[in-house]
Amino acid sequence: MALKGKNKTLAQTVSVVVLMGALAWASVPFYDWFCRVTGFGGVTNTAEAGSDVILDQKIKIRFDASIERDFPWTFKPMQREMEVRIGETGLAFYEAHNPTDRPVAGSAAYNVTPYEAGGFFTKIDCFCFEEQVLQPGERVQMPVTFFVDPEIVTDREGQYVHTITLGYTFYEIDLPEAQASLETGENTNLN
């Protein structure tokens, strides 16, 4: 009887560990999906084209930039703020510079504050959609094209938002495989 009880306890313990592992694995994609659907955490929407509706009401957009600790690039917005009409397509630029003597790859994480505005801030195109690789000494200007959804003016909380801050933080990632092969002098067939 004692052996059967130990086996039952072991099976329950293993089941709990497997369940917790599955929940931990699923939590990141679920949280990402939740944030994109609700705008929670300042996550923005994406669109293929601009808004069909442009209001006369304006909203101020501020731009912020930071880098992860020990990330070698310099990174800054080309403009600190702009005013756009709600629904109007805006275009802003950020500048990145790699002052090192080696290629460095980076990816940008972004957020929008206040959080209530995240669901209404829509990106059409953004440098943050792709990894960026800067060669030694290279300086680039990277665009972000966006609009603020006109529905913000009728939203219970969004209607009180008059300034939105779009912030990016760049962090280092491994060089893409093809780039790393070129740097090491390996002969790769990219066909």
Distance from chain centroid for Cα 56: 29
CA–CA distance, 117 with 111 (Å, rounded to integer)? 10
pLDDT at position 31, please?
Answer: 47
Nearest CA-CA partner of 131 in 60, 180, 190, 77: 180
Q: In this predicted model, what pLDDT tens digit does every residue of 120-148 receive, in sequence order?
A: 999 998 888 889 999 999 999 999 999 99
| Strand order through the sheet with 45-46 | 45-46, 121-126, 139-148, 90-97, 74-77
Percent over 90 (pLDDT), the chain: 49
One of 3.90.105.10, 3.90.1150.10, 2.60.370.10, 3.40.50.300 is the CATH number of 40-179, namely 2.60.370.10
The structure's pTM equals 0.68
pLDDT at position 16, please?
Answer: 75
More confident position, 12 or 180: 12
92-96, 127-131, 183-187: the lowest-pLDDT one: 183-187
Give me the residues paired with residue 172 across strands: 106
Q: How confident is the model over 81-101, as a mean pLDDT?
A: 95
pLDDT-based confidence at residue 51 (cuts at 50, 70, 90): confident
pLDDT at position 1, please?
Answer: 57
Q: How confident is the model over 26-51, as a mean pLDDT?
A: 55
Q: Is the pLDDT of residue 189 over 70?
A: no
pLDDT-based confidence at residue 44 (cuts at 50, 70, 90): low
Give the number of other CB atoms < 10 A from CB of residue 107: 15
Q: Is the pLDDT of residue 56 over 90?
A: yes
Report residue 72 as tokens. Answer: 């070698």
More confident position, 12 or 143: 143
For the chain, the structural domain boundaries read: 1-38, 40-179
Alpha helix positions (H), the chain: 2-38, 177-184
